[in-house]
């Protein structure tokens, strides 16, 4: 482990439809506490480009990254008031994600690392989400992690940087994908998750009874395919009744779906908390929720209650750091750099890269 007590890292994120760059400083206080400071965090959303298609088009996303990443990287450095020579490392998402976008970001980082002589850190995008709370809240390991996004629904026990034990994952669709598909069924707009949440605020969550996949079963796995199908059948049935969906119908379906998801996720998390509590030691037990779906207020509220009942503290990044951003990649890079974990310029981009495959020295 390196003896340095501070690391300044540039992070680049291009795994999906956000082009992002950020500069983060990681410091270790004399008492051993880890602290993070975001010096800049520039994110360019591609919502308008993908909205006509109702989803992310990989080719459009990759082209946008090519067009904008150099400018955004320069902006992130300028806003942080630093140059390449001031950095201790350059981090970039190298998977998992849309491979075209991952290639753009990783190749840009390789070029900057080669030109500046700074080390390259190839970051797992999911580890970026998983470690964000250490930057924002300074919490120590271990903790229980619920990672929920458009492509992932996982429960993991996190014992250190690169140290993830998978407790459960989805057997079919991810929860974020289910939100997006249900929103698309009712033409709520893109991106679907936030649009559905806004619609659900006006609805009656008890009007429609929907199945609760995996509810009450042993283990921590998720399933959302059957729930998504049930919502589609409900939409078709209500359309047949009146020749179309009213705004009230849409709100009630959205609210019923969201409440059902929250109930199912809470059940899976209950099982996970019972599994890991004996491993938590004498310190506080913490449930961390990360990923884009962590921004859903209804889900956060439900999980907060479940955590309190089980003797856990719920920790969630600020809303702006739940979705994809460069700061989380810079931070994960700084965490890995502090352990001496750097990568060669021959590092390959990956479309798939499970967290459970990561390894690192023991960290705290």
pLDDT tier for residue 362 given thresholds of 50, 70 and 90: low
Q: Domain check: are 90 and 226 in the same one? A: no
Tell whether 176 and 255 lie within a shared domain. yes
Please return the burial class of 58, using the count of CB atoms within 10 Å of its CB with bins 0-12, 13-18 and 19+.
Answer: middle
- Entry pTM: 0.92
Task: For residue 250, name the pLDDT band (cuts at 50, 70, 90).
Answer: very high
Is residue 183 assigned to a domain?
yes
> Do 158 and 307 reside in the same domain of the chain?
yes
Domain count, the chain: 2
* Ranges assigned E (strand) in the chain: 6-13, 18-28, 34-45, 89-95, 120-124, 143-148, 153-160, 163-169, 285-290, 312-315
Q: Are 293 and 325 found together in one domain?
A: no
State whether 314 and 326 are in the same domain.
Answer: no
Q: Answer yes or no: is 232 within a domain.
A: yes
Q: What is the pLDDT of residues 62-93, one digit of tens each?
A: 898 999 999 999 999 999 999 999 999 999 99
Task: Decide if 362 is inside a domain.
Answer: no
Q: Same domain, yes or no, for 27 and 153? A: no
256 and 326 fall within a common domain: no
pLDDT at residue 211 greater than cutoff 60: yes
199 part of a folded domain: yes
Residue 58 sits in a domain whose CATH number is 3.30.420.40
Q: Assess whether pLDDT exceeds 60 at residue 2.
A: no
d(C-alpha 144, C-alpha 107), whole Å: 33
Instruction: Give me the pLDDT at residue 243, please.
Output: 85
Whether 259 and 155 share a structural domain: yes
Looking at the structure, do residues 80 and 182 belong to the same domain, yes or no? no
On whether both 312 and 339 belong to a single domain, the answer is: no
- In which domain, by residue range, is 328 found? 6-138+321-357
In a domain, 147, yes or no: yes
Within a domain: residue 104? yes
pLDDT at 172 over 60: yes
Are 86 and 51 part of one and the same domain? yes
């Amino acid at each position: 482990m390196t003896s340095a007590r501070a690391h300044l890292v540039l992070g680049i994120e291009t795994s999906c439809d956000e082009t992002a760059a950020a500069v983060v400083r990681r410091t270790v206080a004399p008492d051993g506490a880890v602290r993070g400071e975001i010096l800049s965090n520039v994110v360019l959303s591609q919502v308008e480009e993908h909205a006509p298609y109702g989803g992310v088009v990989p080719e459009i996303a990759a082209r946008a990254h090519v067009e904008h990443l150099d400018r955004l990287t320069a902006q992130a450095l300028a806003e942080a008031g630093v140059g390449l020579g001031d950095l201790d490392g350059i981090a970039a998402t190298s998977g998992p994600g849309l491979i075209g976008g991952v290639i753009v970001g990783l190749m840009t980082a390789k070029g900057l690392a080669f030109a500046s002589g700074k080390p390259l850190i190839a970051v797992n995008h999911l580890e970026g989400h998983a470690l964000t709370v250490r930057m924002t809240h300074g919490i120590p390991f271990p903790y229980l992690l619920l990672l929920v996004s458009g492509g992932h629904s996982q429960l993991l026990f996190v014992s250190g940087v690169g140290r993830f034990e998978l407790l459960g994952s989805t057997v079919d669709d991810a929860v974020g994908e289910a939100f997006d598909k249900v929103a698309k069924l009712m033409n709520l707009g893109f991106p679907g998750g936030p649009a559905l949440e806004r619609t659900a605020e006006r609805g009656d969550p008890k009007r429609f009874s929907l199945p609760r996949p995996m509810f009450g079963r042993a283990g921590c796995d998720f399933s959302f395919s059957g729930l998504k199908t049930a919502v589609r059948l409900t939409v078709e049935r209500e359309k047949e009744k009146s020749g179309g969906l009213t705004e009230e119908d849409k709100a009630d379906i959205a609210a019923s779906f969201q409440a059902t998801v929250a109930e199912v996720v809470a059940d899976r998390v209950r099982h996970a908390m019972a599994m890991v509590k004996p491993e938590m030691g004498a310190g506080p037990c913490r449930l961390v929720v990360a990923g884009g779906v962590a921004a859903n207020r209804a889900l956060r509220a439900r999980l907060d209650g479940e955590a309190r009942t089980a003797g856990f503290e719920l920790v969630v990044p600020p809303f702006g750091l739940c979705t994809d951003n460069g700061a989380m990649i810079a931070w994960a890079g700084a965490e890995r750099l502090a352990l001496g974990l750097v990568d060669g310029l021959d590092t390959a981009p990956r479309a798939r890269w499970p967290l459970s495959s990561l390894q690192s020295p023991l960290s705290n």
